[in-house]
Chains A and B, each alone.
Chain A
Amino acid sequence: MDRKATLKREDGLWMLRRMRLIRQTSERIARLYPTNVMETPVHLCIGQEAVSVGLCRHLRDADKMFLGHRTHGPALAKGLPLPKLMAELYGRTTGCSHAFGGSMHLIDLEHGLPGSSAIIGGSIALGCGAALAAQLGKNDYVGVSYFGDAATNAGVFYESMNFAALRKLPVLFLCEDNGYSNVMPKSAHSAHDIVSVARQFMTTLQADGTDVLSVYEHTGEAVAQLRRGEGPVFLHCATKRWMKHQGHEACDIVDNGIDRERDCPIRKLEAFLLKSRLITPAELAQIEQAVEAEIDAAIQFAESSPFPDPSLLEVS
């Protein structure tokens, strides 16, 4: 596809802003995390921003997306306001889950995030349930099950694909394949080829998960099929996890194949937008600064918000 001819400036800018929001927020969290202001396990997605952002450019607020434990990126991409995320990480009542969820349990009903789960795999079924509700209620929203490569080892993955295919559910299986289950490489955790397995059940598409325009293009095709009522789609996005599974430190797995210059989804998009004359260098700098200011404000909001009162734990 000739990207230059088809990409609108507003789409390009939207995706750049969201990716920068996720990246810079993650980097800020990584800097603050050692100070223990956030008492919650964080699973950062630096390097993986293209997947959720390319996807969410095609989703509406009404579309319901269920997440696993690596929540921040997809939640921000879908529309969760940053102050609500930061306040949740800071354990404050103004957090999206009112201080009961933490990093791994984010919710934003207004933006189609009915919750996320810290048990790998299970939320795949919930996306299918949302799609079933859409189908039974003759609604035009779609369900999205957002999971990683390691979740394809869980039985619930197969059960969900089978049911979705049998009932032609409008659900997108979005596999954000970062190649690792914690520190276990895919070669050690999956004897199967993920896409080949999924192809037994439904239409499969593959995107470059380090290139937001690739994800954007393929998601467009996938979501169009869902909205036409032609059954579920599996979209595989191969990407790279720059960080450790959990925490603020960089991935230290030897020979992880990560080249931060080559693999950076933000650099790729910026280069494309500049080359296509859809943006100026001044605008790039402006976006980066605006995002920093947004993060400052969100942290200030979190820090100035109240902690929850232990009386909230009383059971009636």
Chain B
Amino acid sequence: MPWSRFDSNYEAPAGARDITYCAAIREAIDQAMCLDPRVFCIGLDADDKFGVFGSMSNLTHPERVLGTPISENAMTGVALGAALSGMRPIHVHLRNDFLLVAMDQIANYVAKWQDMFDHQVKVPLVIRSIIGRGWGCGAQHSQSLHGLFAQIPGLKVVMPSSPYDVKGLMLSAVKDDSPVLFLEHRWLYKNTGNVPEAMYTLPIGKAATLRRGGSLTVVATSLAAIHALKACEQQELDVDLIDPRTIKPLDLDTILASVHRTGRLLVVDYDFPFAGFASEVVAAVCERAHESLRQPPQRLCFPDRGMPSSGRLERAYYPTPERIGELMRQMILGSSIDADSFVN
């Protein structure tokens, strides 16, 4: 199984079960709701029979699962108002793109409320959102935008890649007294992995090293981390693969320590390239570890344009494990190939 890859510091204890990423989310939410009556879920279609792609099916406390009208902006304010009144809401969105409808509340209210009042208030609010892709979903149902959200002070941005991480980080997010944006890639939902049944938390702001190697540091999150791992395994590459797990706060120490060893950096980021997460990682590494770099760092992102619909175009638009592997191989061999050539 590709998921038996946890950092030794955060390995699941022996005897745990294999469950899906989706089931791990469901278990975390259910356990959080059972543990703490202040936890409730709210969102468009949160209470329908589909249970948010199964991630909220058959919860123990359905009375604390509230469906809402298509009013993402006000509902974010409602969740914030409830959080300020002592509750611990989990606001869920079926598509990440819908968060943009609530951007006033997310950027001006949720993110700013603690700074505006010098942290006299707690804002224990989790905003869950699912990243889509494929089957012609197109430009408004396929965006990730984690770089955009990470740019706003006051938001933590978490995007786990494995069932073990998603359970532990979901519980950490619900436990946190500040707002956490929790991004789940839909393509990870059926992946399985080793997950303890008991409740546990994982630290927000701590990266996981998915593979040890000495020739190239690769930083990749969420689905990109899984694709990069697959590429390493397919091509048997000597890669140090880091999954930050949280975009913000970012575990820069782990990344820098790796770059000091390998002298090479590739960021694989399934988001738009301009002023994004990949840019931030490259800039931070150039500022702090320039002397260690043996060649220019590279970014592999989406093209700087909206997602297409036709399957033929989609397959050209999105990076794949094969393309990631080819770029990694080129970098290790020392060739300075332009990452853009893989997507244009």
Q: Which residue numbers of A lie inside 8 Å of B, CB to CB?
A: 64, 66, 97-101, 105, 107, 109, 114-115, 117, 119, 122-134, 136-137, 143, 155-156, 159-160, 162-163, 166-167
Contact = CB atoms under 8 A, between A and B. Distances in A.
A160 B117 contact: no
Contacts of A114: 81, 84-85, 121
Contacts of A128: 74, 77-78, 81
Contacts of A133: 81-82, 85-87
Contacts of B37: 137
Interface string B232-264: 000000000000000000000000000000000
A126 B84 contact: yes
B320 interface: no
Contact of A130 (B69, B82, B117, B120): B82
B272 interface: no
Given A100-B115, A101-B117, A126-B109, 5 more contacts: A115-B117, A123-B109, A125-B77, A129-B81, A156-B104
Interface in B155-194: none
Nearest to B125: A129
A158 to B, nearest CB: 8
B230 interface: no
13 contacts: A105-B116, A114-B81, A125-B75, A126-B81, A126-B109, A128-B81, A129-B83, A131-B81, A133-B85, A159-B75, A160-B71, A160-B78, A162-B69
Contacts of A101: 116-118
Interface string B102-140: 001100110001011110110000000000000000000
A97 B82 contact: no
Given A97-B118, A115-B113, A126 B77 contact: yes
Contacts of A166: 69
A97 B117 contact: yes
Interface residues of B, number: 34
| Chain A interface, >50% SS class | helix
A101 B121 CA distance: 13
B150 interface: no
A308 to B, nearest CB: 9
Contact of B73 (A130, A132, A156): A156
B58 interface: no
B77 A136 contact: no
Given A101-B117, A107-B121, A132 B82 contact: yes
A107 B115 CA distance: 12
Contacts of B40: 136
Nearest to A114: B84
A163 B69 contact: yes
B38 A126 contact: no
A221 B160 CA distance: 51
Given A107-B117, A130-B81, A137-B87, A159 B104 contact: no
A98 B117 CA distance: 7
A159 B85 contact: no
Given A124-B77, A130-B84, A160-B78, A136 B109 contact: no
A160 B77 contact: yes
From B64, B78, B108, B113, residue with most partner A Cβ within 10 Å: B78
